[in-house]
Amino acid sequence: MPAQTAYHFARRVAQLEPSATAAMGGRVAQMRAAGINVISFSVGEPDFDTPTPIKDAGIDAINHNHTHYTPAGGTAELRKAIALRASADSGLTYGVGQVTTTAGAKEALYLAFQALCDEGDEAIIPAPYWVSYIEQAKLAGATPITPMTTEESGFKLTPEQLAASLSPRTRIIVLNSPSNPTGAVYSAAELRALADVLRDSEAIVITDEIYDAICYVEYARWLKVAPEMADRTLIINGAAKAYAMTGWRVGYAVGPQPIITAIKDIQSHTSTHTASISQYAALAAYTPNPEIEATVVEMAAQFHKRRDLILDLLAEIPDITCNVPDGAFYVFPNVTGLLNRPLRGDTVCATSDELTNYLLDEAHIAAVSGESFGAPGFIRFSYATSEDQIIEGMRRFAAALN
């Protein structure tokens, strides 16, 4: 046998943590391939189909041979449509040069970190946080600063926490509302209080609004509340969640033209642009259309019903507490009462990570542990699945604890 080759990897790879959500999705796929009936609450993906007019636009693009390169950052038509959408959302005025489209909102975030951060910079990322924020900051050489929000604050960053986290090295502040994993939504007053703290800061605010269409309370946008921050704000959004277009991979960044130009310069050496077919489908999504808009509203209404259902079922399980999420399609229950005590078969789980593995192996339900989001003692359930699956999944959850 030849000696195993010893590969040298860059430091950035050595410090990288794989995506916990992707890892859980992989385990679910393996178990289902083996014939095991697994109910998955792990993936943040709408279970609805892409609205028909959007699909038709993609098919039409293929039939008209729109299958060639587009300009870096997307076609002018799509960027104009997004600029109009961002202008209407924020109450400000954005032009085509202030928009770039990307292969999903995840790529938009990655490119933003790459464009804005150097070694030694700091990025304030409130915990619980979406898993990729931390790794993307690290890949750009930045140090994540992760103030821990609490259930009592509704998992929202307070002005005092923000002020304590700021330093001369702060380069980026990430705000995610509605939040993944908690479903927390900042009110206008809460955003205003954070903006007041940043009055003398030069840091860039990245406002991740990917779940803006799935909100059960009045939605406050960062730039609606703090328009004076426009020259230091980058809006991240995309078509995946609102239009059930996860596989189409369409995201975007909107902000000051110098930042967008820097992002597009990097993009020109990486993906160049998202798929041309996806761009034409997204153009249909972002062009006003009553049929599409009605579908989006109906999907959000269904998520609202499912949220109430899963909360009711969780409330019947002893030793669990759960904040009421105001948006997105996640619940984030506190499961510390289930740890370090015998479960079914006298199994004892010391961490929420051990608990999610136990639930997958014993109850055949998949969730993601709070450790992945910087919040040990919690687990995330995505309720982007049918009511029947939610009912059966929570039944299995309760049974596994008996």
CA–CA separation, 315 vs 309, rounded Å? Answer: 10
CA–CA separation, 209 vs 178, rounded Å? Answer: 7
- Relative orientation angle of helices 52-63 and 290-315, to the nearest 10 degrees: 130
Nearest Cα to Cα of residue 181 among 365, 393, 355, 379: 379
Tokens 């790529």 correspond to what residue? 107
User: CA 14: distance to chain centroid?
Assistant: 24
- Burial label, 33 (beta-carbon count in 10 A; 0-12, 13-18, 19+): exposed
What is residue 10's predicted lDDT score, i.e. its pLDDT? Answer: 83
Mention every residue, 6+ apart, whose C-beta is less than 8 A from residue 317: 394, 397, 398, 401
Nearest Cα to Cα of residue 101 among 282, 293, 292: 282
What are the structure tokens assigned to 145, written together?
């600063």
CA–CA separation, 268 vs 100, rounded Å? Answer: 11
Phi, psi of 235 (to 5 degrees): -90, 130
Phi, psi of 97 (to 5 degrees): -70, -5
Tokens 């910087």 correspond to what residue? 374
Q: Which H or E element spans position 280?
A: helix 276-286
What is residue 66's predicted lDDT score, i.e. its pLDDT? Answer: 97
CA–CA separation, 301 vs 61, rounded Å? Answer: 31
Q: Which domains does the chain have, with CATH numbers?
A: 11-49+292-400 (3.90.1150.10), 68-288 (3.40.640.10)
**Quick one: DSSP state of residue 307?**
H
What is residue 19's predicted lDDT score, i.e. its pLDDT? Answer: 74
Write down the pTM of the prediction: 0.95
What is residue 2's predicted lDDT score, i.e. its pLDDT? Answer: 63
- The identity of residue 86, as a single letter, is A
3-state secondary structure 55-102: HHHHHHHHHCCCCCCCCCCCCHHHHHHHHHHHHHHHCCCCCHHHEEEE
CA–CA separation, 362 vs 360, rounded Å? Answer: 6
- The identity of residue 261, as a single letter, is T
Task: State the Cα torsion 260-262-264-267 to the nearest 10°.
Answer: -140
**Terminal CA-CA length for the chain:** 51
**Residues of the chain predicted below pLDDT 50:** none
CA–CA separation, 304 vs 217, rounded Å? Answer: 11
The residue count for the chain: 402
Map residue 296 onto helix, strand or coil. helix
Strands 365-366 and 39-40: parallel
Nearest Cα to Cα of residue 286 among 242, 338, 332: 242
What is residue 1's predicted lDDT score, i.e. its pLDDT? Answer: 54
Over the Cα atoms of the chain, what is R_g? 21
What is residue 5's predicted lDDT score, i.e. its pLDDT? Answer: 81
Q: Which H or E element spans position 237?
A: strand 233-238
pLDDT averaged over the chain? 95
Mention every residue, 6+ apart, whose C-beta is less than 8 A from residue 21: 42, 43, 44, 131, 368, 372
Mention every residue, 6+ apart, whose C-beta is less than 8 A from residue 114: 139, 140, 263, 266
Is the C-alpha dihedral spanning 129, 248, 221, 211 positive or negative? negative
Phi, psi of 138 (to 5 degrees): -65, -40
DSSP-H helix ranges across 92-240? 105-116, 131-139, 159-165, 188-197, 222-225
CA–CA separation, 46 vs 85, rounded Å? Answer: 22
What is residue 311's predicted lDDT score, i.e. its pLDDT? Answer: 98
